């Protein structure tokens, strides 16, 4: 049975990822929330206001499960070989679950890691907190889940550019399917690894249709993770 029959909003992108494995991951009660009213990133008043999403995928429970993480790493390695992706550095947000993913990869692939400042609310800072990117480095930008495509499409690449490295590809377990993700798909072409894509809506809180239903309580993503 295809993934989409069981999870109507999910499309499998990585052809080599076993459906049974993806199903097991998505069936984990903490990974995928197909319908709801979620705030991501979590607002940090006064200036950081999070978006409202109608679906949510969390990477924390995937990273916490060694088997899930090994399946993901194995499939990403297949992709790297197939696409002949040549890089010496992986650049990712310093989110604990993502760091765990990166650490396995750096060991297996014998590459370096650099991390972008990350707040537990889901916001990114502007500096590299660990490792470095040097002039001429070939970089794979990576994240666990990219709801909007901004991380691997915009924020991580702009810092690579600032340090005069070059981005050779991008990788996430799951992405949304909005404009930012479509832009990233155009930028990276076949060099953009995604296990799955989720059809989710991201709303500006000022005109979020979900907010109109007062019974549809807004839940910060950190409260379900
Ligand atoms: Zn809302």
Q: Can you spell out the DSSP letters for 62-89?
A: HHT-HHHHHHHHHHHHHHHHHTT---SE
Ligand 1 center from residue 32 Cα (angstroms): 19
Check whether 225 has a pLDDT greater than 90: no
**Do residues 22 and 3 touch, judged by C-beta distance below 8 A?**
yes
Q: Largest Cα–Cα distance of the chain, in whole Å?
A: 53
Ligand 1 center from residue 220 Cα (angstroms): 11
Ligand 1 center from residue 146 Cα (angstroms): 19
Ligand 1 center from residue 150 Cα (angstroms): 20
**Do residues 180 and 170 touch, judged by C-beta distance below 8 A?**
no
Burial of 212 (0-12, 13-18, 19+ CB in 10 A): exposed
Q: What is the CATH number of domain 3-224?
A: 3.40.50.2020
Q: Count CB neighbours of 97 within 10 A.
A: 18
CA distance 12 to 14: 6
Res 1: pLDDT: 63
**Do residues 144 and 98 touch, judged by C-beta distance below 8 A?**
yes
What confidence category does residue 2 fall into, taking pLDDT thresholds of 50, 70 and 90? confident
Q: What does pTM read for this prediction?
A: 0.96
Check whether 73 has a pLDDT greater than 70: yes
Locate the domains of the chain by residue range. 3-224
């Amino acid at each position: 049975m295809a993934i989409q029959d069981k999870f109507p909003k999910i499309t499998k992108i990585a052809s080599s990822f076993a459906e049974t494995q993806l199903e097991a991951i998505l069936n984990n009660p903490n990974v995928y929330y197909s319908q709801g009213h979620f705030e991501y990133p979590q607002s940090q008043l006064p200036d950081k206001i999070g978006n409202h999403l109608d679906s949510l995928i969390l990477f924390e429970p995937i990273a916490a499960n060694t088997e899930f993480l090994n399946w993901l790493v194995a499939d990403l390695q297949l992709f790297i070989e197939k696409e002949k992706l040549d890089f010496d550095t992986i650049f990712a947000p310093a989110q604990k679950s993502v760091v765990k993913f990166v650490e396995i990869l750096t060991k297996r692939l014998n590459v370096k890691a650099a991390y972008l400042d990350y707040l537990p609310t889901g916001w990114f800072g502007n500096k590299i907190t660990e490792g470095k990117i040097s002039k001429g480095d070939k970089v794979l930008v990576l994240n666990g889940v990219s709801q909007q495509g901004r991380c691997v499409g915009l924020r991580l690449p702009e810092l690579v550019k600032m340090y005069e490295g070059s981005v050779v590809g991008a990788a996430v377990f799951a992405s949304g399917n909005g404009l930012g993700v479509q832009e990233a798909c155009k930028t990276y072409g076949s060099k953009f690894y995604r296990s799955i894509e989720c059809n989710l809506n991201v709303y500006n809180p000022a005109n979020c249709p979900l907010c109109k239903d007062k019974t549809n309580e807004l839940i910060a993503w950190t409260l379900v993770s």
